[in-house]
Every structure is written in structure tokens, then in C-alpha cells.
Structure 1
Amino acid sequence: MAGALRMAAAAAAGLFSRLHTPPPTVRAFSMSQSRHQMAGPVWNLGRLNHVAIAVPDLEKATAFYKNILGAQVSEVVPLPEHGVSVVFVNLGNTKMELLHPLGSNSPIEGFLKKNEAGGMHHICIEVDDISEAVIDLKSKKIRSLGEEAKIGAHGKPVIFLHPKDCGGVLVELEQA
């Protein structure tokens, strides 16, 4: 019995020491300072506006978020100038944007050919001055997918940054 108590005490001590072991150090994501500098004083990065998900079946995806998960979802909004139909899923602190191809020149059509089940397409981050952000980012050699901002799904100017310059992520900037 004394041996069993010693073994239990040793096991508890081992567990206790693991619980108090400091977590591993996490290194912050960084890029070469010479190529990517901090935002200038003329514009600021804001909050995450939405995460966009390309879906092969907009009706089915909308029903999943609305009927299964109980989320508030918008009506379908066609955006022919962007070649997509969108549905916004309200998550309280942010949104998800469900994207579905609209028309034959839709950029989402090509994405879905490579990713038949759909998947994350881009993230959208608000900026307080999109014009200054575009000028500043171009001076830092960050490419955009258009020459200038266009009006997006929220009726505000947006521009997409090239994924090869953004760690493999398609980043949409939207005027706050």
C-alpha cells in the first residue's frame, strides 16, 4: 500500500511539474524588414471585416449556417461587377462572406475548379484611408490585383493584395 501511495504521489508530482512548465516560445510572424516596413502614419489597419469562403452550392451553404448553426444570414446579393453572388453570415464580432460564381468571367469559378468542395478564398481587413494605404503599399512593392480600389459588397472601396506578397493569403482591404 505504501508503494502504491508513493507511485501515486510521484505521478501527481510529474503532472504538477508539467502543468507549471512554461509553454514553448512562439515566434512572431515577421518578414524581411528591408522589404516590408510598418504602415505609414497616414493610414491605419483596422479590424477583421470578414473571411470569405468560396462555395460550390450557395443555397446549401446558406442553409447550413442558417438552419444547422443558427446564424443570421443575409439575402443573396448579386455583384455582377465582381462576378460573384454573396451571402453574409453574421457572427457578431465579424462576418463570413459566402462567395458563389456569377457569370462566365467569375474569378470564383476558377477557384472552384481547383477546389471543388470550396474553401477559404480571402480575408478582408478594414483600413481608415484606403487611398493612402494603396499608395503606401505600392511604394513598399506590395502588388494589388487592380490599379485602384473598386466598390465592394458593402458599398465601400476595396482592393485586393496579391497573395504572393501577403504570405500566401489573398487580402482584401476595405475602407472603414
Structure 2
Amino acid sequence: MKLGRLNHIGVATPSIEESLRYYRDVMGATIAHEPFDLAEQGVKVCFVDTPDAQGEVGKGTQIELIEPLGPESPLTGFLQKNPQGGQHHVCYEVEDIEQARSWFEGKGKRILGPTRIGAHGTPIFFLHPKDMMGQLTEIMETPKAAGH
């Protein structure tokens, strides 16, 4: 298995609207996508683009803002411990999600739930933080279409 690029950093937030203001006014972000619901995962998501090393916006790592859709959301507990929000997970790309899943299972890493479709429309799974140096880690299949 070969690990691909860092696709995004997930940031839990009690308010995507307020977080977008922060990324625009404080961090100078110029491109944010429209928020959308991932009802099956209990969250609302919005991506903020960052520039690549040459300064081209939309080619760098994204920030994934994640807001709970309700009290049953998996983010609710995180935000109870971190009321202002904060870094929730990192997401790495892989070429073949099933090969990656088998590889991590072979290494004895705990996978949280089934492989499912993530916010980029590609298959994903999460690895338990206790097996990943304390960091919740998302593995996603590299999107086949251009962009993220």
C-alpha cells in the first residue's frame, strides 16, 4: 500500500458560518465551497481551498469544516469536550481503498465502521486514533475526476 497526498484536515465547528468568516477574515481564504449535508454521517460539511506551493488556489490541501446536524451526530461528543471546535481528523488519499483497508487490518489497526462514501464522493474509512499516534485518520480513495 502506498500512502498518497494529504487531501484535507477535518475541523469540527459548532458553526460553519462563523468558521468561514474566520478563514476569510483572519486566514485570507478566498475560495470556499457551498456547505452541504451528509445526513447519513450526521454532519454538514464545507470545504475551504488552500493554495499549492506555487500559490494556485484549489490545488493544495483543503480544510473540511464539519458541523453536527443534531444531537445524535458523531461530532457532538467532540464539541462537548472542545466547545470552540478544533482539529478533528486528517485525511490521506490512497489509490485503492479496499487494498488499503486490507493492509491496515493486516497491521492490526482498528477500522471504525464500514467503508462508505465520503464528502468527496469517493470511498472512505476511518482508523482509530489509538492506533494512529492519537490522531483520527481518514483514508479516502483518490478522486478519479479532476480537482478534489
TM-score by length of 1: 0.73
**How do 1:20-31 and structure 2 match up within 5 A?**
none
**How do 1:7-156 and structure 2 match up within 5 A?**
43-71=1-29, 72-92=31-51, 93-146=60-113, 148-156=114-122
The structure richer in helix per residue is: 1
Deviation of the 1:167 alpha carbon: 0.4
Q: Which stretches in structure 1 are left out of the alignment for 5+ residues?
A: 1-42
Amino acid at match of 1:114: K
Moved over 4 A (4+): none
| CA distance in 1 between partners of 2:12 and 2:95 (Å) | 27
Cα-Cα RMSD: 1.1
Deviation of the 1:65 alpha carbon: 1.2
3-state SS in 2 of match to 1:81 = helix
Offset from partner CA, 1:68-118 (integer Å, 9 cap, x none): 433111111110011110111100211001110013321111100011111
Tell me, yes or no, if the aligned pair for 1:161 and 1:171 is still in contact at 8 Å.
Answer: yes
TM-score by length of 2: 0.86
The equivalent of 1:159 in structure 2 is: 125
Higher-RCO chain (CA-CA 8 Å, sequence separation at least 6): 2
Tell me, yes or no, if the aligned pair for 1:65 and 1:73 is still in contact at 8 Å.
Answer: no
| CA distance in 2 between partners of 1:89 and 1:63 (Å) | 11
Count of residues in correspondence between the two structures: 133
